[in-house]
Amino acid sequence: MSKMTNQELLEKAIVTTDAIAAQGKLNPAQADKFIDYVFDLTGLSGKVRTVKFRNEQYDIDKINIGKRAAVPKQEAKDPGVRRGITTSKVSLNPKEIMLPVEISDTFLDINLEGASVEDHIMKMFAKQFANDLEELYIDGDILGPAQISDDIYDDGDTTSIVKDTYLGLTDGWLKIARGGNVVDANGTNIGSALFSKMLNAIPEKYKRNKMDMKFFLSSNSEQNYRLAVSNRATAAGDNALNSTSNLTPFGMELVPVPLLSQTPRVTEHVTLTGTTAVQLKFKNIVSASDIVVLTSISGKVSPYTQGAGNDYVMDYTNGTIARDGASTIPSGTTVKISYRSESQILLTHYMNLIVGVGRDIRIEKDRDIYKSVNQYAITAKVSSQIENLEAVVLAKNVGLN
């Protein structure tokens, strides 16, 4: 029997149903191929750093020299000082996730694709698994965003609010990057001036290898910049208009990330006392995107209402929230507010953004004979991190045009 190629392994032994029943826990080689396959689907392959691990926690050791180490040398004389190194580590704390799939016998019998539909569905779910991972790495927030239930679940509705426990598993890059260098665009639209300001915000020692630095932004923001460049009567303008190759402002690649929203969701816990306005982390907030609930949200709840004479008042332009005098929110209450900010852009060395996936991946199949359905589950442990916050810039409040 001839050996299967990597592609055949991916397409048959990993994401089709024939071998799933016998798979269970993937062996290391299969797990590595599955991880590579998932990241090829996200488009992040080669753009960020992928770490594959087996432990419950994976520590990345960092060594730093610090500031200047050289001193003047005098003949036959000890300089009298010694320089050392500083060590630290950044940890990946994996969270377990599962993608459960159920396919009924009735659907398998009447669909147009026949027996092959099950394999087709499994490949679709592998792609969805990739999308869900990308969303977690970008938008994760351990506070747990408040969202309309219909935006998350098939059985949701358009009025009830739930806590997004999936995005609440871990902090994603956008939130982590707030602890690094932050450039407030204050509504300025995307353009070379903003890119230059971001580059200037990075300490000089991280600028030696600019070709390895990348701008990460939403697809819409990238398209806005591409349109502006395409209007130039230059070779760069023609390239922006007629090709799909990534643009390179100041020699650094512009990476559009499909699941990075042009208006990212931000979640904060703030205490509302009296009618005093509280400053939020972002301004120029997308109007009517705010959802305010108690931090102890459980199940489906109704949100507090915004506007004078209601529960709270928002100043979307200046990014503040205040309890209204007629509010049903008791003074001194800490609430959860989720809202949409203007665009956010990341600039860093591509190896600085880390995605971690544990090799203990399980792809399993079972059958519920009473419901007459085939059941599948993909289980994995994942994490995200930024290795060096000093070497990352987050541009916030970037205009949408």
**Domains of the chain, earliest start first:** 6-56+92-171+351-381 (3.30.2400), 174-261+391-398 (no CATH), 265-343 (no CATH)
Question: Comparing 332 with 237, which gets the higher pLDDT?
Answer: 332
Distance CA 338, CA 245 (A): 35
Hey, which bits of 76-148 come out as E strands? 86-92, 95-104, 146-148
Q: What is the pTM of this model?
A: 0.82
Region 344-357 average pLDDT:
91
Tell me how crowded residue 253 is: count the other CB atoms within 10 A of its CB.
17
Whole-number pLDDT of residue 129: 81
Identify the pLDDT of residue 38: 73
**Looking at the predicted structure, is the pLDDT value of residue 59 above 80?**
no
Instruction: Determine contact, residues 365/376, Cβ cutoff 8 Å.
Output: yes
Summarised one tens digit per residue, pLDDT across range 165-198 is 999 999 999 999 999 999 999 999 999 999 999 9
pLDDT at 284 (0 to 100)? 94
- Alpha-carbon span 141 to 216, nearest angstrom: 19
Confidence tier at 125 by pLDDT (50, 70, 90): confident
Q: What is the pLDDT of residue 167?
A: 95
Calculate what percentage of the chain has a pLDDT beyond 70: 82
Q: How far apart are CA 249 and CA 238, in angstroms?
A: 15
56-60, 279-283, 366-370, range with the lowest pLDDT:
56-60
Strand partners, 256: 217
> pLDDT tens digits, residue range 138-174?
999 999 999 999 888 777 788 899 999 999 999 999 9
> Residue 146's pLDDT is what?
96
- Residue 343 near residue 299, CB atoms below 8 Å: no
- Residue 305, pLDDT > 90, answer yes
pLDDT the model gives residue 99: 82
Q: Which of 86-100, 184-198, 302-316 has the lowest mean pLDDT?
A: 86-100
pLDDT of residue 19: 44
Question: What does the alpha-carbon distance between residue 395 and residue 344 come to, in Å, rounded to a whole number?
Answer: 5
Strands 265-272 and 333-340, sheet pairing = antiparallel
Output the pLDDT for position 182.
Answer: 97
Distances from the Cα of 301 to the Cαs of 100, 272, 293, in angstroms? 26, 20, 8
- 287: helix, coil or strand? coil
* Predicted local distance difference test score (pLDDT) of residue 321: 98
Does 5 have pLDDT greater than 50?
Answer: no
46 pLDDT higher than 60: yes
C-alpha 271/C-alpha 57 separation (Å) is 34
What pLDDT is stored for residue 25 in this prediction?
A: 65
Number of H helices, E strands in the chain: 9, 21
Weakest mean pLDDT among 27-41, 104-118, 156-170: 104-118
Q: Give me the pLDDT at residue 116, please.
A: 62
Dihedral angle of Cα 195, 170, 94, 129, to the nearest 10 degrees: -80
Mean pLDDT of the chain: 83
DSSP letter (8 states) at residue 343:
E
pLDDT tens-digit series, residues 215-248: 999 999 999 999 999 988 888 887 888 888 889 9
